[in-house]
Amino acid sequence: MTGVLPIGLANSTKVIGNVIHSVKEYVMVIQLHGDARESSVKMVVEYFKGDIYQKPPLRSSVKRSIRVRRIYEIELLEIRDRFILVRVLSDPGTYMRKLAHDIGLMLGTGAHMRELRRTRTGPYREDETLVRLQDISEALTLWRSSGDERYIRRIILPVETSIAHLPKIMILDTAVDAIAHGANLAVPGIARLTSNVERNKTVAILTLKGELVALGTALYSAKEIAGMKKGVVARTRRVVMPTGIYPPAWRKGQPG
Amino acid sequence: MDLVEKGLSFIDYITARAGYRNEWIVLRDAETSPDHGVLPYERKVNDHINYGVINLDKPPGPTSHEVVAWVKKMFNLEKAGHGGTLEPL
């Protein structure tokens, strides 16, 4: 398989795994085992839009019980002889190989996946930010030999891009170091938050400059938080920012 | 633009690039000190790497794991990780 594989470097390793839980888009080539009319292929492919049931394949790392996955978009892009090209936007953990097999069953011809390319993982897409291994190698060579960092800056994205799809909370300078130490976030430390913050959902905790401090779990919705005067509103889970970047404006045992 | 506006427009920009939108609820107006922290796109190059993500076009052949190991080696990093396995071929 080829395509979008976001890699977190050094400190970004801690949070890059989080994009596993985000929406995926693929383009795949399916080979049919018999002839089929374009109209019936189109009809069958589009039939898979919505909730589908899948049992993880024999060789998989998760429990093999039937699970529900949603196909948000599925589209027949091209058909040539017994090869069909399909674009799929789906929940994470949807098996494309299974989907190809099931399309074959439904069509009555049988089918299997021949090629797969991922075109999106949550916030990362197949656009001008997508780089090849060669691009990395060239950028590194240029930087190491002549000190020219322009290409390094171009091929590497800030860690904040990995939380672009998440609800966000921006916090005061005075609250940053406490979060960096792993403390939970309380209302008085918040400057602003996005309206899609939801109870028990992941939230990105950012400084006012836009730096990612940590990932946490929201304990209330944005509306509820907006109406609160005090109290913990997010449990800090993964800290990215080291301690000591922002001054400590807190003391042990101090409330808030 | 002051630092808060720059920080906010950076976050809104990367969110829009990812195909999403932020609807902000402001709880209190606040400033941020230029003496601590840095705008994410103005990090020194070594920090830019250590707080960086590469949107890699995985080549066919190696496993996702192998590709990460190569990238780690190229940068001489102790840690690197990927966001979601892609089968080798």
Going by DSSP bridges, is the β-strand pair B24-26/A232-239 parallel, antiparallel, or unpaired?
unpaired
Pick the residue from chain A with its C-alpha nearest to B89. A1
Report phi then psi at A88, rounded to 5.
-130, 130
Report pLDDT digits (tens) over A19-47.
888 999 999 999 999 999 999 999 999 99
CB burial readout A121-130, b (16+ within 10 A) else e: bbbbbbeebb
Structure token digits, residue B42: 């103005």
Mean pLDDT of chain A: 95
* Chain A with chain B: Cβ pairs closer than 8 A: 269
Which residue among B3, B39, B55 sits closest to A124, beta carbon to beta carbon?
B55
The Cα–Cα gap between A22 and A206 comes to 20
SS (H, E, C) chain A: CEEEEEEEEHHHHHHHHHHHHCCEEEEEEEEECCCCCHHHHHHHHHHCCEEEEECCCCCCCCCCCCEEEEEEEEEEEEEECCEEEEEEEECCCCCHHHHHHHHHHHHCCCEEEEEEEEEEECCEECCCCCECHHHHHHHHHHHHHHCCCHHHHHHCEEHHHHHCCCCEEEECHHHHHHHHCCCCEEHHHEEEEECCCCCCCEEEEECCCCCEEEEEEECCCHHHHHCCCCCEEEEEEEECCCCCCCCCCCCCCCCC
What per-residue confidence (pLDDT) applies to B1? Answer: 83
Q: Which residues in chain A touch residue B12, judged by CB atoms under 8 angstroms apart?
A: none
Judged by CB atoms closer than 8 Å, whether chains meet at A192 and B6 is answered as no
Report pLDDT digits (tens) over A126-183.
999 999 999 999 999 999 999 999 999 999 999 999 999 999 999 999 999 999 999 9
Judged by CB atoms closer than 8 Å, whether chains meet at A122 and B18 is answered as yes
Report pLDDT digits (tens) over A89-116.
999 999 999 999 999 999 999 999 999 9
| Site of tokens 């839009």 | A49
What per-residue confidence (pLDDT) applies to A250? Answer: 59
What per-residue confidence (pLDDT) applies to A256? Answer: 47
What per-residue confidence (pLDDT) applies to B84? Answer: 74
Q: Which residues in chain A touch residue B83, judged by CB atoms under 8 angstroms apart?
A: 5-8, 16-20, 121-122, 124, 162
As a whole number, mean pLDDT of residues A63-73 equals 93
What per-residue confidence (pLDDT) applies to A252? Answer: 54
Query: Model confidence at B36, in pLDDT bands (50, 70, 90)?
Result: very high
CA–CA distances in Å: residue A35 to residues A82, A99, A104, B9: 6, 19, 11, 53
Judged by CB atoms closer than 8 Å, whether chains meet at A209 and B64 is answered as no
What per-residue confidence (pLDDT) applies to A60? Answer: 74
Q: Which residues in chain B touch residue A92, judged by CB atoms under 8 angstroms apart?
A: 84
SS (H, E, C) chain B: CCHHHHHHHHHHHHHHHCCCCCCEEECCCCCCCCCCCCCHHHCCHHHHHHCEEEEEEECCCCCHHHHHHHHHHHHCCCCEEECCCCCCC
| Site of tokens 């020194």 | B44
CB burial readout B17-33, b (16+ within 10 A) else e: bbebebebeebeebebe
As a whole number, mean pLDDT of residues A212-240 equals 97
Mutation pick from B25, B42, B43, B54 vs chain A, by most beta carbons of A within 10 Å, is: B54
Q: Which residues in chain B touch residue A116, judged by CB atoms under 8 angstroms apart?
A: 86-87
Judged by CB atoms closer than 8 Å, whether chains meet at A211 and B36 is answered as no
Report pLDDT digits (tens) over B38-89.
999 999 999 999 999 999 999 999 999 999 999 999 999 999 998 877 766 6
Q: Is pLDDT of B23 > 50? A: yes
As a whole number, mean pLDDT of residues A247-256 equals 64
The Cα–Cα gap between B52 and A157 comes to 5
Which residue among B18, B30, B89 sits closest to A165, beta carbon to beta carbon?
B18
Structure token digits, residue A56: 């993880």
The Cα–Cα gap between A60 and A178 comes to 40
Judged by CB atoms closer than 8 Å, whether chains meet at A168 and B11 is answered as yes
- ipTM for the whole complex: 0.94
B79/A contact by beta carbon, under 8 A: yes
What per-residue confidence (pLDDT) applies to A94? Answer: 94
Query: Model confidence at A62, in pLDDT bands (50, 70, 90)?
Result: confident
Q: What is the pTM of this model?
A: 0.92
> Is the distance from CB of A12 to CB of B52 less than 8 angstroms?
yes
